[in-house]
Amino acid sequence: MTTQSAQAPPPERLQEDFDATIAHDQRIEPRDWMPDGYRGTLVRQIAQHAHSEIIGMQPEGEWIGRAPSLRRKAILLAKVQDEAGHGLYLYSAAETLGTDRAELTQRLIEGRQKYSSIFNYPTLTFADVGVIGWLVDGAAICNQVPLCRSSYGPYARAMVRICKEESFHQRQGYELLMTMMRGTDAQREMVQDAVDRWWWPSLMMFGPPDDASPNSARSMAWKIKRHSNDELRRRFVDMTVPQAEKLGVTLPDPELRRNEQSGRYDFGTPDWDELTRVIKGDGPCNAERMRRRRSAHEDGAWVREAATAHAAKQAARARKEAAA
Ligand code: BYC
């Protein structure tokens, strides 16, 4: 007689097990059963995150050849390489859900998947490198530290390593800006100008406001996301305002002030129409970023073909040796 446990459990039991795992704050792992919606949401978010890391190499990468000293060049090179690594960890996490990197890249290139709005703004001066480290990586840390507790194991574990590296990125940006602020008037103006341009786009990285965020409720119920977009945006402002004061720059928001009752900062409303436009492809650099991503993909075709041929050759040799 076949026992019940030797057979595939009934669907309602699978759902119950999944719900219990989430309720107990345990991790879902690749071989566990999961609802299609959960899998789809993860693929969407992880892929978008991976694409952001890879496209995010472009704005700062433009300054590697123009860095003002060998030290700055070495730091920037290391940072941009880290972003490539983050993309690869994330594509690997997505692979555990049954979608491979080639397929996800194809979806990006065909415009069927998104990447972060923040990378559609230009890097006009070297101060932008510092401000990206301070604000953009600072925002990334606020958003990603809670993702280390995301319910999907491979995503959460990838985040632990990524967050460690993001901390270095944020520190190097802040240190660069501190150095510039101790420099000439022209350097201080350059820093202020970069802060003015990147502040609002950095706030938009956290996504639309909660009442216009269609995915948040479900993602939070599944504990993929641990906090809402608005809560994370607020945490970022609370963290950043004292750093701006120490740096000696002004944040371009006349409504920004400390709320004595809550002990937190009140701030103005980002231009949500701008975020919508940038997400839809109409930001200052969307076309350029996608053009470069597509051409890098085409230029790399021979490497992928060579690696595949090499792997096939190795496998054939191993089979021959095993048979001998
Ligand atoms: N840009 O319902 P919502 C980095 C989309 S890399 C573009 O709130 P969700 C770094 C959203 O996808 C930083 N699209 O969505 C790298 C959704 O559209 P779909 C990347 C955005 O997923 C190099 C729609 O709007 N970080 O740090 O619940 C150098 C409605 O939104 C954006 C991550 O990817 C945006 N800003 O929440 C330096 C973190 N915001 O997909 C630094 C992981 C929203 O339904 N991702 N959309 O067509 C997340 O935490 C969440 O996906 C988000 C959005 C908070 C971004």
The ligand 1 atom nearest the CA atom of 232: 55
Taking Cα atoms as reference points, which of 77, 59, 68, 88 lies closest to residue 286?
A: 59
Ligand 1 centroid–CA 197 distance in Å is: 20
Ligand 1 centroid–CA 51 distance in Å is: 11
Whose alpha carbon is nearest atom 29 of ligand 1?
56
Q: What are phi and psi of 157, to 5 degrees?
A: -70, -35
The ligand 1 atom nearest the CA atom of 59: 29
Is the C-beta atom of 270 inside 6 A of ligand 1? Answer: no
Could you say which DSSP state residue 324 is in?
Answer: -
The ligand 1 atom nearest the CA atom of 86: 16
**Distance of alpha carbon 84 from alpha carbon 87, whole angstroms:** 5
The ligand 1 atom nearest the CA atom of 137: 42
Instruction: Using only the alpha carbons of the chain, give its radius of gyration.
Output: 22
Each residue's pLDDT tens digit in the chain (324 positions)?
Answer: 444 455 778 888 999 999 999 999 999 999 999 999 999 999 999 999 999 999 999 999 999 999 999 999 999 999 999 999 999 999 999 999 999 999 999 999 999 999 999 999 999 999 999 999 999 999 999 999 999 999 999 999 999 999 999 999 999 999 999 999 999 999 999 999 999 999 999 999 999 999 999 999 999 999 999 999 999 999 999 999 999 999 999 999 999 999 999 999 999 999 999 999 999 999 999 999 999 999 999 999 999 999 999 999 999 999 999 998
Hey, what's the torsion of the CAs at 104, 106, 108, 109, to 10 degrees?
A: 160
Is the C-beta atom of 41 inside 6 A of ligand 1? Answer: no
Whose alpha carbon is nearest atom 31 of ligand 1?
213
- pTM exceeding the 0.85 threshold for the entire prediction: yes
Is the C-beta atom of 50 inside 6 A of ligand 1? Answer: no
| Count helices and strands in the chain by DSSP H and E runs | 14, 2
pLDDT of 324: 86
pLDDT of 8: 75
Q: Which of 48, 222, 228 to mutate to test the pocket of ligand 1 (most atoms within 8 A of CB)?
A: 48
Is the C-beta atom of 52 inside 6 A of ligand 1? Answer: yes
Contact 130, 190 (CB under 8 A): no
Is the C-beta atom of 48 inside 6 A of ligand 1? Answer: yes
Is the C-beta atom of 163 inside 6 A of ligand 1? Answer: no
pLDDT of 12: 85
